[in-house]
Amino acid sequence: MIIKPQDLKYFCVEEFVYEDLYTRLGDYSLSLVNWRIILTVMQLREFFGLPIYLNTWKWEGKHQYRGLRPMHIYEDPRTGTKFDRRSCHLFGLALDFSIKGMPSDEVRKALIKHRYLFPHIHRMEHDTNGWTHIDCKGEFKPEIVMFNAI
């Protein structure tokens, strides 16, 4: 399956990919992001009924590596965030997102509580503050696998 740019709801292609890639490939770059993670964030947007923030570079914001990431960038100069060199962001399997007005621990609790509504969320990162990492690495398990980054 693939989700095409015209089938996105609430989001645009630029929110899933970094600026340089979008400049080179345009809307085609969405095909490098796994459909399961795209579908999941649209489901989350409907479930919470609140704006969800991914990449913001399109509007001069500082975030451009919240979805797909390039192999050769190990740190985000705009945010100071260090990246795991084997992150599943490199394979288009992960998203970092913020929900308007919701602390990250509340988001994680809600996703754990409603686990079966979001079967493509296979893993989440512990203790992030200001964003929530979800990914669809591996396979479905009855409980979301929690991990520590780096």
What's the min distance (Å) between Cβ of 141 and Zn ion? Answer: 19
* Residue among 69, 108, 120, 133 that touches Zn ion (CB under 5 A): 133
Count Cβ atoms below 10 Å from residue 59 Cβ, excluding itself.
Answer: 9
8 Å CB contact between 122 and 99: no
Examine residue 108 and tell whether it contacts Zn ion (CB under 5 A): no
Examine residue 14 and tell whether it contacts Zn ion (CB under 5 A): no
Phi, psi at residue 98, to the nearest 5°?
-125, 145
Examine residue 122 and tell whether it contacts Zn ion (CB under 5 A): no
Q: Which is nearer to Zn ion, 27 or 76 (CB)?
A: 76
Interface mask toward Zn ion for 66-105; x: CB under 5 A: ----------------------------x-x---------
What's the min distance (Å) between Cβ of 23 and Zn ion? Answer: 22
Q: In what order do the strands lie in the sheet with 52-53?
A: 52-53, 94-99, 132-135, 123-125, 145-147
Strand, helix or coil for residue 101: coil
